């Protein structure tokens, strides 16, 4: 099977080589980390047991903060190594987990994953959400290293695709020792694909634990951040978070109309992808609106009155949500599947989203059921809802308070996950360090 997969991967690389070459020439993210992606990560020097945690990108790197802290507290003699698949994820790992080894996840060729495993020598591997690559799982199994899924979820769309190859999925999933999943729905889908029922447990969504809470010393920090953004104390703020093409255009178009009724309103745009910072800035300026980048503000620039603030930094959005009077969470007006609504909800910010939220259906259904969020059908309905909530701040505040209650009621997934992993940690500690 590994040989067949290597052949298939190799064929894919050959067929895609013109596109990959073009991407490498035009985008920095396709030019970095190749040595590590080919398994050439620097060998781990320590002799202690090691947990390898793989978090694919920025969101997952932020998500695992409580988990990493819990592991370090419970097992201070263990080393923690973190891998990621993206440049922004790597930068976030270096920033958040100084002192821990960070590197790029290897491509799923049998030779590259074997090389990376020899160099890291993990005692336990944790894959965040559902990053299951067959050669990697096979190589870990050959070394006797248990693999666990943490904060696992399986969307309806992915479930439909995986069902087409159920015999293969069942074989791969049987190599996972423990599945700690977000919901009963994801648990049922994994079992239907062949995951052994006794290995699947519902621990909840760790995003609830990693989301900031308003009481946790944030008020003073938010006042300072508001000053950095050039926001007046009485200016209402609309944050468009994790926006995709089509959504930025809609928000920029409705902003002047909303300001006609709420003249002090300010708009903060946070595009989901870093390569869209430039195009979104041009979009704002073409609309005749002043625009200032967050990085320019950090460098000492001052914001013009009424300027749109473009959040061109990564890993800061959760904190910026705390500035909001209203939040629109993107990836939802267009058929992308939505982005997380937990971070603004945790800070009692009234949140709106479009009809396409399959990726976060469980969370959003809870928010809607408690009157803690609003779903809109399209941009016109979004504009009407924003206008209504700006005119009725009492309704917006009550909505935000209900949102925070929903988040607080769901905290605790990290603790349950650590409890589920503890037997494997103890068993591996008794076996001692894995050798190359």
How far apart are the C-alpha atoms of 31 and 23, rounded to whole Å? 8
Q: What phi and psi, each to the nearest 5 degrees, are found at residue 243? A: -80, 150
How far apart are the C-alpha atoms of 87 and 286, rounded to whole Å? 30
How far apart are the C-alpha atoms of 137 and 134, rounded to whole Å? 5
The residues, ordered by sequence, that sit 6+ positions from 270 with a Cβ below 8 Å of its Cβ are 239, 240, 241, 242, 243, 311, 317, 320
Structural tokens at position 78:
């263990």
The 3 state secondary structure assigned to the chain is: CHHHHHHHHHHHHHHHHHHHHHHHHHCHHHCCCHHHHCCCCCCCCCCCCEEEEECCCHHHHHHCHHHHHHHHHHCCCCEEEEEECCHHHHHHHHHHCCCCEEEECCCCCHHHHHHHHHHHCCCEEEEECCCCCHHHHHHHHHCCCCEEEEEECCCHHHHHHHHCCHHHHHHHHCCCCEEEECCHHHHHHHHHCCCCHHHEEECCCCHHHHCCCCCCCHHHHHHHHHHHCCCCCCCCEEEEEEECCCHHHHHHHHHHHHHHHCCCCEEEEEECCHHHHHHHHHHHHHCCCCEEEHHHHHCCCCCCCCCEEECCCCCCHHHHHHHCCEEEECCCCCCCCCCCCHHHHHCCCCEEECCCCHHHHHHHHHHHHCCCEEECCCHHHHHHHHHHHHHCHHHHHHHHHHHHHHHHHCCCHHHHHHHHHHHHHHHHHHHCCCCC
60 included as an active-site residue = yes
- The answer to whether the Cα torsion of 129, 134, 135, 139 is positive or negative is positive
Residue from 36, 45, 47, 60 carrying the catalytic annotation: 60
Residues with a catalytic annotation lie at 60
């Amino acid at each position: 099977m590994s040989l067949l997969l290597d052949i298939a991967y190799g064929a894919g690389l050959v067929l895609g080589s013109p596109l990959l070459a073009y991407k490498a020439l035009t985008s920095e993210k396709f030019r970095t980390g190749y040595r590590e992606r080919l398994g050439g990560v620097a060998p781990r020097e320590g002799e202690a047991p090691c947990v390898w945690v793989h978090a694919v990108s920025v969101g997952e790197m932020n998500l695992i903060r409580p988990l990493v802290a819990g592991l370090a507290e419970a097992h201070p003699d263990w080393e923690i190594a973190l891998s990621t698949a993206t440049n922004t994820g790597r930068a976030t790992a270096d920033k958040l987990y100084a002192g821990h080894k960070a590197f790029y996840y290897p491509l799923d060729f049998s030779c590259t994953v074997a090389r990376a495993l020899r160099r890291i020598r993990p005692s336990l591997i944790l894959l965040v959400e559902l990053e299951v690559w067959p050669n990697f799982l096979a190589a870990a199994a050959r070394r006797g290293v248990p693999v666990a899924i943490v904060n696992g979820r399986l969307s309806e769309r992915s479930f439909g695709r995986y069902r087409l190859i159920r015999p293969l999925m069942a074989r791969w999933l049987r190599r996972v020792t423990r599945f700690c999943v977000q919901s009963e729905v994801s648990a049922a889908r994994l079992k239907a694909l062949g995951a052994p029922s006794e290995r699947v447990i519902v621990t909840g969504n760790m995003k609830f634990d990693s989301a900031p809470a308003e009481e946790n010393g944030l008020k003073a920090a938010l006042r300072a951040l508001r000053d950095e953004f050039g926001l007046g104390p009485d200016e209402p703020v609309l944050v468009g978070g994790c926006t995709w093409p089509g959504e930025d255009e809609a928000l920029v178009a409705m902003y002047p109309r909303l300001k006609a009724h709420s003249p002090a309103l300010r708009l903060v745009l946070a595009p989901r992808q870093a390569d869209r910072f430039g195009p979104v800035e041009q979009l704002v300026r073409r609309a005749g609106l002043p625009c200032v980048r967050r990085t320019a503000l950090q460098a000492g620039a001052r914001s013009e009155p009424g300027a749109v603030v473009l959040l061109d930094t990564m890993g800061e959005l959760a904190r910026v949500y705390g500035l909001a009077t209203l939040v629109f969470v993107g990836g939802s007006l267009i058929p992308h599947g939505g982005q997380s609504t937990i971070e603004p909800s945790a800070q009692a910010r009234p949140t709106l989203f479009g009809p396409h939220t399959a990726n976060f259906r469980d969370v959003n259904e809870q928010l809607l059921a408690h009157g803690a969020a609003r779903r809109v059908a399209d941009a016109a309905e979004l504009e009407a809802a924003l206008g209504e909530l700006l005119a009725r701040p009492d309704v917006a505040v009550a909505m935000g308070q209900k949102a925070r209650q929903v988040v607080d009621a769901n905290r605790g997934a990290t603790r349950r996950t650590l409890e589920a992993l503890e037997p494997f940690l103890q068993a591996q500690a008794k076996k001692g360090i894995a050798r190359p």
